[in-house]
Amino acid sequence: MKANIGSLDKLIRLGLAIVLIALFYMEVFSQTIGFIALIVALLLTVTSLINFCPLYPIFKIDTTKKKEKKV
């Protein structure tokens, strides 16, 4: 697994996960939607921690910064 998530992408994912968890505990969502939100928050957290999103290679997305080779 090659890392394909950049630092800004990680921050956005973790921030969104925190928001979803907070909305769940404030009971903004119904119970079913709330559990789905918790699952999404878990997936966002795990993908940000391992620096890999399995959907990115399918869509050819890579948000990591590439180092340019000096010639």
Q: Is the pLDDT of residue 20 over 90?
A: yes
Overall pTM > 0.75? yes
3-state DSSP assignment of residue 36: helix
* Confidence at 65, pLDDT banded by 50, 70, 90: confident
- Asked if 29 and 23 touch (Cβ cutoff 8 Å), the reply is yes
Tokens linked to 44: 């966002």
Q: Is the pLDDT of residue 57 over 90?
A: yes
Tokens linked to 4: 């394909």
- How many other β-carbons are positioned within 10 Å of the β-carbon of residue 54? 10
* Confidence at 71, pLDDT banded by 50, 70, 90: low
- Asked if 7 and 13 touch (Cβ cutoff 8 Å), the reply is no
